[in-house]
Amino acid sequence: MKITKNIALSCKLLSAHKLRTALCISSMTIGVAAVIIMVSLGRGTQKRILDMIHDMGTNLIVVNAGHVTLLGGRATQVTIATSLKIADADAIKSQCTSVVDAAPENRSKMNVQWGSENLKTDIAGVTPAAFRIRNIEIQKGREFDSVQNDAGQRVAIVGKVIVDKIFHGEDPVGYQIRIGGSYFEVVGVMKAKGIDANGVDRDDRILIPLKTAMHRLMRVTYIQKIHIQVADSTQLKSAETEIRELLRERHRLGDKPDDFTIQNQATLIRAERDSSRAMTLLIASVATISLVVGGIGILAVMLTVGRERRKEIGLRRAVGARRRDIRTQFLLESLIIAGLGGFFGVFLGTLSSFLASKIVDLPVVQSWDAMGAGLTLSFIIGLIFGIYPASKAATLEPIEALRTE
Amino acid sequence: MIKIKDIEKTYSKNSVETKVLRGVTFSVQRGEYVAIMGASGSGKSTLMNIIGCLDRPTKGQYELDNINVLQLDDDAISALRNKKFGFVFQQFFLLERTNALDNVLLPLIYTDEYPADAIQQARKLLVNVGLGDRIEYFANELSGGQQQRVAIARSLINNPDVIIADEPTGNLDSESAAEIMKIFSRLHEERRTIIIVTHDRDVAGNAQRILELKDGQIKG
Ligand SMILES: Nc1ncnc2c1ncn2[C@@H]1O[C@H](COP(=O)(O)OP(=O)(O)OP(=O)(O)O)[C@@H](O)[C@H]1O
Ligand SMILES: [Mg+2]
């Protein structure tokens, strides 16, 4: 019996029993889709961490005013403190031996206006040090310098979202925009960075000199954050201690608890990794369960089919089918089911992980090898769960099979 | 062509042994039309299954065209069933959800070479059993008599040496039964070897020779 005849026969049989076939295929589909989602999510998580490292800059320590915890990988301020000052940043830079540079920062959501266009965006007051420490590149125009910062000049560097939404894609350099109640001159455009791993659009942002932000817009004397670059990654721990001691002394804390939170890159990444690991684990177990369920589904159907089809097997044996022919037929059936299920599963998994990344903002990276893994897996499951019913069907004596009622 | 000698068959169920055949000996010549009769439970189906190589005897000798059948392995016996025998069963045994044509073609799937004109052959056989207008019908869309005629066409597609029919009219009314028997008589005229099991004296009357199975042995 030729293999092509065998395949044709199996297809015919499968299409003759549409409900049964559909049930099998859908259980396989769900399993494979789950695997694809899992792999994509794993990839996405990896990418989120790499993104984060790149986005933060390397060898970074962040000092936050007040108490800060990590929520879903994002630093979130829990208590507000007014004790952190620009002078603290300067002191850290000049007094801590392992520190290369320090960039104080204050940010706030504010309204931007140009002509009749209006947008609420993230206004970040930064010092020129931020450009290097935080990997901010200028695509058009220029950065502002410390003279402009000290003078409290009203200059702004805008992100791509602002260019698109407010200026409709026009080059905005030289234009005057209104932020809060003041006019600012656009002096530069940031290179587009896209959405970050936490779903924040890094281009929906305007940078202005920190002093301008504090005095003109936010009217505060304190800052929220200092990004600090350390010379070497081995010095992260010692720098942290140094910074803590310095700040405690400067804030005259005595035996009071810290009024700031220090995070270094390593702890940030670890926190991110932990939170995503829990998610990955959850999805991995769901995926495993659905795969096993899919496999058992096939097994159950093939076994009942075997029982239901004893007469058919008996008849086939009576008219000359060898054991091998029966076995091949059953195996082919489960492989076809697994193949189709795998195909649909790849489709469903890819689609739903894509949707997940768009809607629920899960970090998802599509990859060919995930699809390959899904397909391979479905064939392996098809084989494993197909072999038992196949050999069971094949061992049946023709006369036993024919006699079953 | 069929030589059966001292065939015994013992079934054991729940450690109770039932000796159904106790030394059956007979032979059938090529082209012969033989009927086997006997009371219910006398072992007619058991004997037929052994002749058709669907089952093996507990003891005895079986030669088919000078081949010692009982020494063959499973694959060789499968091939033998495929080439030498055509089966007609009391319960028809057609594939459900499969049309008459595909049912007739079934044995050809398991032959070494699939004839190029298989479909024409199958159609011709269906026409010959009077089902020219039912070729595309599914098994469940046919009457019992029609189903049995499909089964007969199927038993002929491989041009077998022996047709084995275990109560082919057992599930049919007398009219359909008469038609089936007419087909068998015609096959006999075409010099095919036919072995048929029946309860019905009239049906057996069509055969050249009637064997009586009683107490596990052939009488007469
Ligand atoms: N697989 C089996 N296991 C145990 N006993 C069996 C088996 N098959 C048949 N028998 C027994 O063998 C005896 C003969 O059965 P068989 O089917 O050959 O009878 P039969 O002559 O064809 O009867 P009928 O005319 O009713 O079809 C019966 O008593 C039956 O119970
Ligand atoms: Mg019987």
What are the pLDDT tens digits along chain A (405 aa)?
567 777 777 787 778 778 878 888 888 888 888 888 877 877 777 777 777 676 666 788 889 888 877 655 556 666 677 889 999 999 999 999 889 999 999 999 999 999 888 899 999 999 999 998 888 889 999 999 989 999 999 999 999 999 999 999 899 999 999 998 899 999 999 998 877 656 678 889 999 999 999 998 999 999 999 999 998 878 888 899 999 999 999 999 888 888 898 887 777 777 767 766 777 777 778 777 877 777 787 777 777 776 777 888 899 999 999 999 999 888 888 888 888 888 998 999 888 888 877 776 666 777 787 788 888 888 888 888 788 888 888 888 888 888 876
8 Å CB contact between A221 and A85? yes
Confidence at residue A211, expressed as pLDDT on a 0 to 100 scale: 93
Best A14, A18, A319 member to test B by mutation, with max B CBs in 10 Å, is: A319
Measured between CA atoms, how close is A315 to chain B, in angstroms?
7
Which tokens hold the place of B12?
């054991």
Q: How far apart are CA A123 and CA A162, in angstroms?
A: 11
Chain B contact for A19, CB < 8 A? no
Give B141 to chain A, closest Cα distance, Å. 15
Higher-pLDDT residue of B100, A372: B100
B144, B176 contact by CB (below 8 A): yes
Please give all residues whose CB falls under 5 A of ion ligand 2, grouped by chain where several chains appear.
B 45
pLDDT of residue A187: 95
Secondary-structure percent of chain A, ordered helix, strand, coil, rounded to 5: 55, 20, 25
Q: How many CA atoms lie within 13 A of A73 on its CB side?
A: 24
Q: A179, A60, A157: which is closest to A110 by C-alpha?
A: A179
Residues of chain A positioned with their CB less than 8 A from the CB of B74: 322-323
Q: State the number of CA atoms in the 13 A half-sphere of B126 facing the CB.
A: 23
Ligand located closest to B37 CA: 1
Q: Which CATH class is domain B2-218?
A: alpha beta
Cβ–Cβ below 8 Å for B75 and A317: no
H or E element at residue A103: strand A99-114
B76 Cβ under 8 Å from any chain A Cβ: no
Distances (CA, A) of A187 to A155, A204, A213, B169: 6, 17, 16, 100
Number of DSSP helices (H) and strands (E) in chain A, helices first: 13, 12
Residue B51 has pLDDT above 60, yes or no: yes
Q: Which of residues 103-122 of B touch A (CB under 8 A)?
A: 106-107, 109-111, 114
Q: Whose CA is nearest to atom 28 of ligand 1?
A: B41
Q: Nearest C-alpha of chain A: how many angstroms from B218?
A: 23
Measured between beta carbons, which residues in chain A are less than 8 angstroms from residue B90?
none
**Cβ atoms of A185 and A176 closer than 8 Å:** yes
Return the bridge partners of A112, or none. Answer: A119, A179
A315–B95: do the CB atoms touch at under 8 Å? yes
Rounded to the nearest angstrom, the minimum Cα separation between B52 and chain A is 9
Q: Going by CA atoms, what residue is nearest to atom 5 of ligand 1?
A: B11
Model confidence over B150-192: pLDDT tens digits?
999 999 999 999 999 999 998 889 899 999 999 999 999 999 9
Buried-exposed string B32-65: b where 16+ CB fall within 10 A, e elsewhere: bbbbbbbeeebbbbbbbbbbbbbbebeebebebe
Q: Whose CA is nearest to atom 26 of ligand 1?
A: B40
Ligand 1 center to residue B162 CA distance, Å? 23
Q: Which of B9, B20, B78 is most worth mutating to test chain A (most A CB atoms within 10 A of its CB)?
A: B78
Q: What is the dihedral of CA A107, A111, A113, A118, to 10 degrees?
A: 130
Pairing of strands A138-141, A225-230: unpaired
Confidence of residue B2 (pLDDT cuts 50, 70, 90): very high
Q: How many CA atoms lie within 13 A of A214 on its CB side?
A: 22
Mean pLDDT, range B4-23, rounded to an integer? 93
CA distance A32 to B207: 62
Q: Cα of B40 to ligand 1 centre, how many Å?
A: 8
Report the alpha-carbon distance of residue A27 to residue B106 in Å, rounded: 31
8 A C-beta contact, residue B143 and residue B118 = no
| Whole-number Cα distances in Å, A297 to A10, A304, A381, B51 | 19, 11, 11, 41
Domain ranges of chain B: 2-218
The reply to whether B61 touches chain A by the CB within 8 Å rule is no
A4 CA: distance to closest CA in chain B (Å): 11
Query: Residue B35 carries which side chain, given as an amino acid letter?
Result: A
Cα(A179)–Cα(A110) distance, integer angstroms:
7
Radius of gyration of chain B, Cα coordinates, nearest whole angstrom: 17
**Most A CBs within 10 Å: which of B9, B13, B53, B54, as the mutation test of the A interface?**
B54
Mean pLDDT of B73-81: 94
Report the chain B residue with the minimal C-alpha distance to residue A312: B95
Question: Where does ligand 1 bind, in terms of residues with CB under 6 Å?
Answer: B 11, 13, 18, 20, 38, 40-46
Test B82 with A319 for CB contact under 8 angstroms. yes
User: Is the model's pLDDT at B86 over the cut of 70?
Assistant: yes
Task: Name every chain A residue with its beta carbon within 8 A of the beta carbon of B87.
Answer: 318-319
Asked if A17's CB is within 8 angstroms of B97's CB, the reply is: yes
Q: Answer with the residue of higher pLDDT: B204 or A135.
A: B204
Q: What ipTM does this complex have?
A: 0.94
pLDDT of residue A318: 94
Question: Between the CA of residue B108 and those of A7, B77, B86, B97, what are the distances in Å?
Answer: 15, 16, 12, 19
What is the side-by-side strand order in the sheet with B16-28?
A: B16-28, B2-13, B59-64, B67-68
Residues 304-323 of chain A whose Cβ lies under 8 A from any Cβ of chain B: 311-312, 314-323
Residue nearest to atom 30 of ligand 1 (CA): B41
Name the residue of chain A whose CA is nearest to B107's CA: A319
